[in-house]
Structure 1
Amino acid sequence: MKSSPEMLKVYKRVRSRTVHVVPDEIVVEILVRLPVKALTRFKSVSKAWCAIISDPFFIRLHLQQQSAKNQEQAPSFLIIPHTLYKAIDSESEFESVYPMLHCDGLFVLPTDTKVYVFNPATHDVLKLRNDQKDEWFYPTVGLGLDLLTSKYKVARFFYRSLNFKKRAYSMGVEIFTIGGDGVDSCWSTVEDCPFPIFPGVVVYFKGSLYLRIWYELVERPPQEFLRFNLENETFSLMCYPELLQPKGKHLDLIELCGELCVAQCLAEQIDIWMLRSDDGHEWVKQYVIRLPDAWNFEVFSVMPNDVKIIRWGSCLYHYDDAQKDTREMVRLDRLRYMNSKVDSFDFVGQEIFLFNILPYVESLIPVTKKRHHSLAK
């Protein structure tokens, strides 16, 4: 990855024939603070601007700027409603609806037959066909950044065979590298999972994917999470916090405030443990959320001095840590969604299956190969 001075040096060479109006350093400082929509338009201003906006270093710098802005101010969220319409004959791709994943402005949407990776800010979409058949009906897909190569990888975990009575299974993993060369333009298989994976959301954190082990399929399951390193594409185990009794309890791996956490749902409270060391041996109880009753809340986002939590369904709640009070913030199914191109619209009266609502930071990260000017030239 080029340093900032190196990027400026190449930028100066690319725009050497243009008129000097604003110092180059100022141009970069201004561009990196602009939203994606504006930067996409500004690519057509000149070859020099197109080169710098398309450069991988600038894209990472812009992402860091947007992430910092989200932490300092009110964060952004992406709301995706899933409606239930009449089934289309011979349609097999969207028979079921599955949760989505977010990483650095990119989203993954698994369907019954494909995996979609898209950037809503740039309208860039990548469609991946599921090459391997999955015997379990619920897809398990992860997305994250390989810190060594700075490329994003999609990991798909699938069951070749599954027998609950005999506790027998065969589980495989396939990887797709986004933006790779010709060798990486299709799914590649890696080592099999050492333990069966509980279907559902996969959490990305600092170069690895974190998954829950499916205890019902293991006679003597380890009291640990499964970690998949995206750099070397290998598995390892990470311990639970000591005080947790995971068997029979509802546990969720989540990322809060840039840290990996475990949320344990008890009778009338949620305990949130935060990881303090990368080896998984130091966990600290960071939050205790007292609930009015045994509702099935899931922790959603942490703000300064308070915690936002979302209940399964269409209600978003605010938890006041000082008052130990939970109150309804908004009903997602009663919101009116504004769009200047298609006018406003709402979902009142429509059949809503669920709302995906995810923390969101917009980015310029591409998911498909596009011809553009590179600063490396």
Structure 2
Amino acid sequence: MLSANLPEEIVEDIAARLPVKSLLRFKSVAKSWYAQITDPYFVTRQFECSDLITKNHRLRLISRLHYLTLKPCISLVSNQESDDIELPFPEKNVEYIFFYGQCNGIFCLYGVYGEDSAGQASLILWNPGTKEVKILPASQNQPKDMVYVIFGFGIDPITKDYKVVRFGNLAFEGREQPPVEVYNLSTDSWRTIDAIVPAFRLCYPKCRAYLNGVYHWLTDDNNDQAILCFDFSKEVFGKIQLPPAKIDESHELTVAVIDERLACVDTFCMTNYKFEIWVMNEYGVDSSWAKKFVVGPCPEFGSFLGFWGDDEILVEDEGQLVSYNLGNKKIQRFEIHGVPKLFRMFEYVESLVSLKN
């Protein structure tokens, strides 16, 4: 970018702190501006600045089913307000949306369309900031019944390539397990990898988290409860033992990321909800699990959604989004409603990352 009054590095530093919406408009000002804004170094710098700014503004995407229409909807929530976001799927009659994580402002979503679309579905990558959508191609080994397939999304920290892993859900015994496949954004194609999935049944798909190049799923087969993980760089599966919490009808366990560390939230689902939040202080070391918080019991709690800054959590209480301050115990209710138990929350950082391979 050029300026008659300021040094180039000052202008670039200012630009990196601007909202993505403004930067997208500036791309059409001049060829030099377009080249600067699309430069990979600037894209990375803009994301780093946006990440720092977001930590104070607490941006979150909230996915849910609308409590009246029963249609999926997505809202962007900040400290002061919330705005609905247009669904990114090409078909308008999408009935269900499954989120498979986010990385660097990019989300992986699976949308299932209504009956008039003959049961069709789309697996997409989506950048809410640039509104760019990438529909992933089908693979030769793609099963007909996708309900038995598990996905994970992240970035290879070595090659910086975005990847999606796909494999069979071992909870459904007697069904033929599809091979493990990996999609690379750089090549826009799927390939089969020689990876062995440990024999664990997977819990409800919301129990998953991405951290530093590794994707995590909560498993439960009544004999050995653990966290199944996939390393996007090595392209291998592994497992991590859970903290001393249990899964039964009175407990609900969630895998999460808290302060760049792997975490498990044990929810006591009795008359008044209570949360025990465990953090793995040294990644991959089972003995490093430590109980960091005990929150509640509180009659205004519901399902745990995630952390809201350093001192608050977000929960869903009878179909309404609620925040709870861990310090002063203050409760705030948002004007966001949906079908109970079907809320999902995701951290969001604005990004210029392109989905064009």
Provide the TM-score with structure 2 as the length reference.
0.77
Q: Does 2:280 correspond to 1:297? A: no
* 1:363 equivalent in structure 2: 351
Question: What does 1:76-225 correspond to in 2, within 5 Å?
Answer: 76-80=59-63, 82-83=65-66, 84=69, 94-99=94-99, 101-112=101-112, 113-131=121-139, 132-133=142-143, 135=145, 137=147, 140-159=150-169, 162-163=172-173, 170=177, 172-178=179-185, 180=186, 184-190=187-193, 191-195=195-199, 196-201=201-206, 202-215=208-221, 220-221=223-224, 223-225=225-227
Higher Rg of the two aligned structures = 1
Superposition deviation, residue 134 in structure 1: 6.0
What SS does the aligned partner of 2:48 have?
helix
Match of 1:343 in 2: none
Q: Could you tell me which residue of structure 2 aligns to residue 338 of structure 1?
A: none
Equivalent residues of 1:158, 1:171 under 8 A apart = yes
Aligned counterparts of 1:246 and 1:360: Cα–Cα separation in 2:
29
Give percent identity, aligned residues only.
25
Per-residue displacement from partner, 1:216-260 (whole Å, max 9, x unpaired)? Answer: 5xxx42x4211100001101111222x323466421111123322
Asked if the contact 1:106–1:119 (Cα under 8 Å) also holds between the matched residues in 2, the reply is yes
Partner of 1:48: 32
Q: Which of 10, 32, 47 pairs up with 2:16?
A: 32
Cα shift at 1:142: 1.9
Label 1:315 to 1:138 Cα distance change in 2 as closer, same or farther (>3 A): farther
Contact 2:16–2:42 (CA<8 Å) still a contact in 1? Answer: yes
- For 2:168 and 2:94, locate their aligned partners in 1 and report how far apart those are by CA, in whole Å: 18
Counterpart position of 1:319: 324
Counterpart of 1:193, as a letter, is V
Q: Is residue 2:337 matched to residue 1:330?
A: no
Residue deviations 1:181-235, cap 9 Å, x none? xxx321122224122433413311011001122415xxx42x4211100001101
Q: 2:171 and 2:52 mapped to 1: Cα distance?
A: 44
Contact 1:309 1:318 in 2 (8 A): yes
CA deviations over 1:43-95 (Å, ceiling 9, x no partner): 22333222221122211111111111111x22112344545479xxxx99845
* CA apart distance, 1:303: 2.5
Tell me which amino acid in the other structure corresponds to 1:186: S
SS of the equivalent of 2:98 reads coil
Higher RCO (C-alpha under 8 Å, 6+ residues apart)? 1
- Residue number in structure 2 paired with 1:74: 57
Q: How many residues align?
A: 318
Deviation at 1:171, TM superposition (A): 5.3
Q: Give the conservation status (yes or no) of the 8 Å contact 1:162–1:170.
A: no
Counterpart-to-counterpart distance in 1, 2:170 and 2:229: 21
Contact (CA 8 Å) 1:142, 1:154: kept in 2 or not? yes
1:155-204 C-alpha deviation (Å, 9 max, x unpaired): 223349933xx7x76354322112x1xxx321122224122433413311
Equivalent AA in structure 2 for residue 198 of structure 1 = C
1:255 maps to which residue?
A: 257
Q: How far apart, CA to CA, are the structure 2 residues paired with 1:100 and 1:280?
A: 25
Q: Kindly provide the amino acid, as one letter, of the partner of residue 185 in structure 1.
A: D
Distance 1:250 1:44, change over 3 A: same
Letter in 2 for 1:126: K
Q: Distance in 2 between matches of 1:357 and 1:232?
A: 28
Question: Could you list the runs of 5+ residues in structure 1 that have no partner in the other structure?
Answer: 1-14, 335-350, 370-377
In 2, Cα distance between the equivalents of 1:264 and 1:160?
23
Mapped to 2, the partners of 1:313 and 1:189 lie a distance apart of 43
Structure 2: tracts of 5 or more residues without a match? 72-90, 113-120
Distance 1:140 1:328, change over 3 A: farther
What is the deviation of 1:310?
1.6
Distance in 1, Cα, partners of 2:266 & 2:6: 54
Instruction: Determine if contact 2:101/2:154 at 8 Å carries over to the other structure.
Output: no
Residue 232 in structure 1 maps to residue 239 in structure 2 = no
Please name the residue that 1:244 is paired with: 245
Q: Which amino acid aligns with 1:260?
A: L
Tell me: CA distance 1:63–1:37, structure 2 relative to 1, closer, same or farther (3 Å): same
